[in-house]
């Protein structure tokens, strides 16, 4: 039986070694290439022709999502598993759009990665249980869109929080601190908010928040003044 050829990409050597040891403990799996950043992963996927690429989302030079997008565009034969610390709808949806079929949290990789690799190799999807819950919630929201009159109801709980904080004049780094998330996550959610609400500027967002009753006019005026400074 031919072994499943795997590319592992992570900017931390110790994680790459751990994944290689974990995967090659299985008789049907073989790590044939390792990359330390996204650009190298794309090049190795092109040269080594793996069956499965395990990509860390947070890599330098080229992040894992963009690497997944490029690998998927070049070869439909390569199945992608994203490895991340982020159990977050924003990252998850971006990864799926980039072509990933698996999404494994680093906190549970030791117990789930082998199953994830085998699943995507067989053409099936695999998501860590915590991620599956997020997917289910997103599916429910999508089902409800036809009945939703206000686009505000399409926002996730965290997106609503970020919408209000933005309308109150909070900067991205301050929002990250308040919600205990990374600035990158704030930017990702912010982009989704603008897309879902069809907004084009921060001024549009502030005006929308006032009309929707998310913030009062006095707060919005102060935020708008701060924006113009």
Per-residue pLDDT of the chain in tens (229 residues, 90 and over written 9) = 789 999 999 999 999 999 999 999 999 999 999 999 999 999 999 999 999 999 999 999 999 999 999 999 999 899 999 999 888 777 888 888 899 999 999 999 999 999 999 999 998 889 888 777 766 666 556 555 555 456 788 888 899 999 999 988 889 999 999 999 999 999 999 999 999 998 888 888 887 888 788 876 566 555 654 554 4
Closest CA to 157 of 189, 201, 202, 197: 189
Six token digits for residue 164: 């209000």
Domain boundaries, the chain: 4-128, 144-228
Which residues, in sequence order, are CB contacts of 46 under 8 Å at separation 6+?
A: 74, 75
Question: Which tokens is 223 given?
Answer: 């935020």
pTM value is 0.70
CATH topology assigned to domain 144-228:
Arc Repressor Mutant, subunit A (1.10.10)
Spatial CB neighbours of 217, under 8 Å, sequence gap ≥ 6: 210
Domain 4-128, CATH among 3.40.50.2300, 1.10.287.130, 3.30.110.40, 3.20.20.70: 3.40.50.2300
- Locate 110 and state its tokens: 């030791």
Tokens 């790590």 -> residue:
31
């Amino acid at each position: 039986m031919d072994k499943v050829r795997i590319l592992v990409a992570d900017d931390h050597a110790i994680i790459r070694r751990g994944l290689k040891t974990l995967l090659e403990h299985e008789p049907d799996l073989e790590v044939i290439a390792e990359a330390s950043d996204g650009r190298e992963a794309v090049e190795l996927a092109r040269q080594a022709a793996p069956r499965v690429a395990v990509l860390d989302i947070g890599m330098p030079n080229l992040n894992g999502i963009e690497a997944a997008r490029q690998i998927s565009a070049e070869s439909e034969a390569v199945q992608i598993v994203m490895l991340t610390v982020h159990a977050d709808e924003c990252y998850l949806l971006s990864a799926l759009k980039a072509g990933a079929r698996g999404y494994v949290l680093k906190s549970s990789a030791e117990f789930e990665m082998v199953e994830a690799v085998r699943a995507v190799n067989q053409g099936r999807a695999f998501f860590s249980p915590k991620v599956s819950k997020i997917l289910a919630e997103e599916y429910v929201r999508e089902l409800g869109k036809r009945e939703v009159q206000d686009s505000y109801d399409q926002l996730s709980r965290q997106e609503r929080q970020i919408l209000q904080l933005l309308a109150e004049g909070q900067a991205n780094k301050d929002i990250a601190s308040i919600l205990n998330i990374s600035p990158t996550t704030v930017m990702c959610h912010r982009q989704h908010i603008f897309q879902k609400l069809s907004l084009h500027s921060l001024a549009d967002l502030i005006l929308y928040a006032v009309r929707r009753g998310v913030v009062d006019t006095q707060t919005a005026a102060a935020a708008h003044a701060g924006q113009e400074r």
